A and B are shown apart, each in its own frame.
Chain A
Amino acid sequence: MAGLELLSDQGYRIDGRRAGELRKIQARMGVFAQADGSAYIEQGNTKALAVVYGPHEIRGSRSRALPDRALVNCQYSSATFSTGERKRRPHGDRKSCEMGLQLRQTFEAAILTQLHPRSQIDIYVQVLQADGGTYAACVNAATLAVMDAGIPMRDFVCACSAGFVDGTALADLSHVEEAAGGPQLALALLPASGQIALLEMDSRLHEDHLEQVLEAAAQAARDVHTLLDRVVRQHVQEATVLLGD
């Protein structure tokens, strides 16, 4: 990837965005009838589908039940056609396990689990197309789906990734930018309180820059919140109109 100029002199990124700009976000709630809650989100070319069941009784071994709160069960999968090369991705490989775990941590922090002791909430997320920022898309889709299911949450969970190129923090990395191999940070934020539900970074980044990148990711997450909020309100409005009839 040598010679790829991620940020031009004029301050434009490869796809024409500026450093702090998000990709176009489109989202819909309630895409499936049979699930308790569902949502679909497109962040640029990254597309994810989330489905929520529950809260319901513990399935499988009863011993997993928690006496004081609900069990959040997350499963992540990505479609064979989601990336450039077609590849079969079996369930339970390392990557999806890890992603599932991260989603679970994120949502245990956001859902008011103590309201449903000894029960279970299932969140299934599938990535239909991956173009960078899959974690963020999954979290955002799942937030909408959880809300669609009517499960009480502390706040939205809004996630966004951020990278660091030539002294500038870039928000919402695309696949090309991720593949260039710079540091990359994923942040899930509870926007109202500003609390961080999950923060992850794989590569090395000097601590002096961390704050800058973190701020870029947080700002992007707040932008995501504005958009998701609009989607939710519109969905609720549509639903009430239907109910009113």
Chain B
Amino acid sequence: MLKSKTFLKKTRAGGVVKIVREHYLRDDIGCGAPACAACDGAHAGPALETQPRDQASSLCPWPHYLLPDTNVLLHQIISAWKPGTRASVASRLRPPGSLETYIEQEQGENANDRNDRAIRVAAKWYNEHLKKLSAENQLQVILITNDKKNKEKAVEEGIPAFTCEEYVKSLTANPELVDRLACLSEESNEIESGKIIFSEHLPLSKLQQGIKSGSYLQGTFRASRENYLEATVWIHGDKEDEKEILLQGLKHLNRAIHEDIVAVELLPKSQWVAPSSVVLHDEGQNEDDVERDEERELMLKTAVSEKMLRPTGRVVGIIKRNWRPYCGMLSKSGIKESRRHLFTPADKRIPRIRIETRQASTLEGRRIIVAIDGWPRSSRYPNGHFVKNLGDVGEKETETEVLLLEHDVPHQPFSQAVLSFLPKMPWSITENDMKNREDLRHLCVCSVDPPGCTDIDDALHCRELSNGNLEVGVHIADVSHFIRPGNALDQESARRGTTVYLCEKRIDMVPELLSSNLCSLRSNVDRLAFSCIWEMNHNAEILKTRFTKSVINSKASLTYAEAQMRIDSAAMKDDITTSLRGLNKLAKILKKGRIEKGALTLSSPEVRFHMDSETHDPIDLQTKELRETNSMVEEFMLLANISVAKKIHEEFSEHALLRKHPAPPPSNYEILVKAAKSKNLEIKTDTAKSLADSLDRAECPDFPYLNTLLRILATRCMMQAVYFCSGMDNDFHHYGLASPIYTHFTSPIRRYADIIVHRLLAVAIGADSTYPELTDKHKLSDICKNLNFRHKMAQYAQRASVAFHTQLFFKSKGIVSEEAYILFVRKNAIVVLIPKYGLEGTVFFEEKDKPKPQLTYDDEIPSLRIEGTVFHVFDKVKVKITLDSSNLQHQKIRMALVEPQIPGINTPPEVSGMDLNGPGVKKRKLDK
């Protein structure tokens, strides 16, 4: 059954190398048509449909299979075939290794031509093969190719062949499919005005050469959210030579799109510019407004001091596109009957996309998904095609869907395969479960959580031992008992990485049965837990630490407020209350010790929506209250995390999953230091300790909110905390918590990292067996990468959700005037924070069709002078908040200045718009 084919000889530059390859041509590959008796059962995997359902195609009225060629497949695969499209796609080519369809490369034939020929041979084979199969229902294979020559040759050889467009247009049943066809650059070029805007991208080989020789740099393109003419390129490299290169102007951006991997060339120093602090949004409707862009570019290049100049470059080529389908809205073209429209993505970093559609009027006012097909040199915007209609703008479901899609949050319901790994209900603890497990059901354990929380993953207890010491236990839901490594459930939770909490909805990481029932440490039921138990003296010094898998029975699940009440009321003297008081006392000592070590207390405005229980519309906004019990729970969670981190690092020095928080570079603090200076305060930033101390000292008697503001600013200076694998890094320090080592152990229901840590710890104490991936540091570091990405995205999604609900809230509320503080000063705007709502927004001072006010911006003491009034950071102003629905795409919250009064600025009609930049909301659990 094997037939070997050996071909020899191949020369490479330098030496002569003999390459001997053999290829076994198979005779056991089935055609995939289930009705085929000739290749009975030889085909494994997905099969073709038995009987291609009637495809109403005017070109070929008989039943047929489609055989797209490689290029067509690549171009159209994103979206052309929506689920339920009735064409049966024979997308799986017969592997070229088959005996009957193998062809040898001919003299003078290049690889592409050979491929085309191979596909033609395959199509021919299929047709002949299927003819044998069934005489009565004539099946045919149709070759779909966009290559003219290939098509001609195919027709010559008697294979029915069409171009993709011809075929799709002939589908009378599904006319809207044409819109979804990826438009090809060839045809669009004809209509395009011949004017070339962009310089050519260099071919990959040249780029690689350039990168090797150092004349070009490779990096990730990051468009600016605030200015469509500006972007940065993050140069990959080792720690020392990581840097950012600034790109300014449409031509220098050269058709790169956010997240692309690009090659840039540095400009000579004389052309370097400073990042501008102008906020610019691309709003023109015309396609030939290139001149206006140039004008705007000039505006960016204002004189700045020498040291502000950043390395500036231009994009010379794209190494890898990172396009994905984008959500957004159609901006209908002004010309009636026009089929070409501009699409405005919801993400500001993505340029607008030109699409062709006949259903513009139905799509107007809807959220749609569009994919980019290409960006010709002569076009101001990239070309794309319509993919999917999500629903009406402003609908809560649509908007939630959009923000989940935009932030790449996996939110589909769990698949059957995943659910099959759940324990069968009714579930009870069996003999087998009790192996390696301690029975702690007699302990007086209780949980403290926000109200309405259903996924309780931690519980606490504290009791006095006979020797006078205290025993404190933190009990964490034993999720790793239910999620076994490697199965579909595990893979799905690893992919999701984290539970995402939106304002009205929770996107679970693990199926609900686990998250809200079997793993949730609810009161008065037996639950499996992973316990971390310390023996402490009354000064909260740890004498002994012990970890064990256990069974607990929580005596009460309290809210923070309830727990606080129990602690405060003198009348209560039951076990739970004494336990809570003991915990609270120890927590205070622990906190003090932590702060002495230099842990930072930062602040971010946290808000909570009160939801209408029926409509789920936000009725009221409330900033989060912090009680002693919040910090009590937090303190013990931190302690557990640190203890566990030490233990797993001890046991697995190479592959412990830890969490670090790098110290920010000093330059990050510039804003904070300058801002404090303007209030005559000094902030020291050399160590975390001095920062914490100076933040504590920074108080102004007549301005009590100043300290909070400074802490908010300090939070913005911080780096992101990240997961990492201990074998891949040597800096473990957690800056914010001032701990030399840290990990996440306490929330396995909502974070995948904790599940891995649980597994590591279980192996370390001999309670569970290990598995190969757990001790593979490269796999672990891949997991970390995904988790970091998911966490970031989850955070963004949460902010976006809060922003959307804030809009809904102000929609119902009408126009409000509120006090606000200036957080940042920009060149043409100020960013303000409204403490009452934890809302942050930008007040613009320039408008398109109005005379520009006199603006003077001072970078040294960040301040902006407008017509004689000077704005400093932290100044108190009064702003008017309204919801602006004039642009459906981005409903905006507009803020306009009310006080101080500046003539020409704050007289109605309103000042310009702003975009809701979600406040740094760090919301944990909330009601579902």
Contact = CB atoms under 8 A, between A and B. Distances in A.
B17 A209 contact: no
B22 A10 contact: no
B4 A84 contact: no
B20 A85 contact: no
Nearest to B1: A21
Nearest to B10: A84
B2 A84 contact: no
B17 A17 contact: no
Contact of A45 (B15, B20, B92, B95): B20
B11 to A, nearest CB: 11
Given A10-B45, A208-B771, A17 B24 contact: yes
B15 A10 contact: no
B730 interface: no
Contacts of B22: 15, 23, 44-45, 131, 174
Contacts of B4: 23-24, 44
Nearest to A130: B20
A2 to B, nearest CB: 14
Contacts of B24: 15-17, 21, 23-24
Given A16-B23, A16-B25, A84-B18, A24 B772 contact: no
Contacts of A176: 21
Contacts of B6: 45
B15 A131 contact: no
Contacts of A12: 26, 95, 97
B101 to A, nearest CB: 13
B212 to A, nearest CB: 17
B861 interface: no
Interface string B1-35: 01010100000000101111111111000000000
A199 B18 CA distance: 31
Interface string A163-177: 000000000001110
Nearest to B25: A16
A23 B3 CA distance: 10
A94 interface: no
At the interface, is chain B mostly helix, strand, loop or mixed?
Answer: loop
A83 B20 CA distance: 9
B19 A84 contact: yes
B21 A85 contact: no
Count class of interface residues, chain B = 20 to 34
Contacts of A85: 15, 17-18
Contacts of B20: 45, 84, 129, 131, 175
Interface in A1-26: 8, 10-12, 15-17, 21, 23-24
B73 to A, nearest CB: 15
Nearest to A44: B22
A85 to B, nearest CB: 6
B225 to A, nearest CB: 34
Contacts of A208: 771-772
Contacts of A59: none
B157 to A, nearest CB: 26
A17 B25 CA distance: 8
A243 B6 CA distance: 38
Point out which of B24, B92, B771, B772 has the most chain A C-beta atoms below 10 A from its C-beta: B24
Contact of A84 (B17, B25, B26): B17
Nearest to A8: B95
B17 A16 contact: no
A206 interface: yes
Contacts of A129: 20
Contacts of B26: 12, 16
A84 B23 CA distance: 18
A46 B18 CA distance: 14
Contacts of B97: 12, 16
Interface in B22-59: 22-26, 44-45
Contacts of A17: 2, 24
Interface string A208-229: 1100000000000000000000
A85 B11 CA distance: 11
A83 B97 CA distance: 25
A20 to B, nearest CB: 13
Contacts of B23: 15-16
Interface in A187-222: 206, 208-209
Interface string A71-96: 00000000001011100000000000
Contacts of B17: 84-85
A9 to B, nearest CB: 8
B21 A15 contact: yes
B2 A206 contact: no
Interface string B58-95: 00000000000000000000000000000000001001
A15 B771 CA distance: 32
Point out which of B18, B20, B45, B772 has the most chain A C-beta atoms below 10 A from its C-beta: B20
Point out which of B17, B22, B95 has the most chain A C-beta atoms below 10 A from its C-beta: B22
B55 to A, nearest CB: 27
Nearest to A9: B45
B772 A209 contact: yes
A21 B19 CA distance: 22
A206 B44 CA distance: 29
Nearest to A13: B24
Nearest to A176: B21
A10 B26 CA distance: 13
B469 to A, nearest CB: 43
Contacts of A11: 44
A12 B23 CA distance: 11
A153 B95 CA distance: 45
A178 to B, nearest CB: 13
Contacts of A16: 23-26, 95, 97
B727 to A, nearest CB: 14
A176 B21 CA distance: 9
A83 B19 CA distance: 8
A83 B45 CA distance: 38
A202 B786 CA distance: 32
A198 B79 CA distance: 55
Given A23-B22, A45-B20, A10 B772 contact: no
A208 B773 CA distance: 11
A207 to B, nearest CB: 8
B6 to A, nearest CB: 7
A45 B7 CA distance: 11
A226 to B, nearest CB: 15
A44 to B, nearest CB: 6
Nearest to B772: A206
A35 B47 CA distance: 57
Contacts of A175: 20
B372 to A, nearest CB: 25
A15 B19 CA distance: 14
Nearest to B15: A85
A191 B654 CA distance: 41
A10 B21 CA distance: 21
Contact of B2 (A24, A81, A131): A24
Contacts of B44: 10-11
Interface string B467-502: 000000000000000000000000000000000000
Contacts of A8: 95
A23 B95 CA distance: 19
A78 to B, nearest CB: 14
A174 to B, nearest CB: 8
Point out which of A12, A15, A175, A176 has the most chain B C-beta atoms below 10 A from its C-beta: A15
Interface of A: 8, 10-12, 15-17, 21, 23-24, 44-45, 81, 83-85, 129, 131, 174-176, 206, 208-209
Given A16-B26, A85-B17, A175-B20, 6 more contacts: A16-B95, A24-B24, A45-B20, A45-B21, A83-B18, A84-B19
20 contacts: A10-B92, A11-B44, A12-B95, A12-B97, A15-B21, A16-B23, A16-B24, A16-B97, A17-B24, A21-B2, A23-B4, A24-B4, A45-B6, A45-B20, A45-B22, A85-B15, A129-B20, A174-B22, A208-B772, A209-B772
Task: Give me the 3 closest cross-chain CB pairs, A-B, nearest first.
Answer: A206-B772, A16-B24, A16-B97
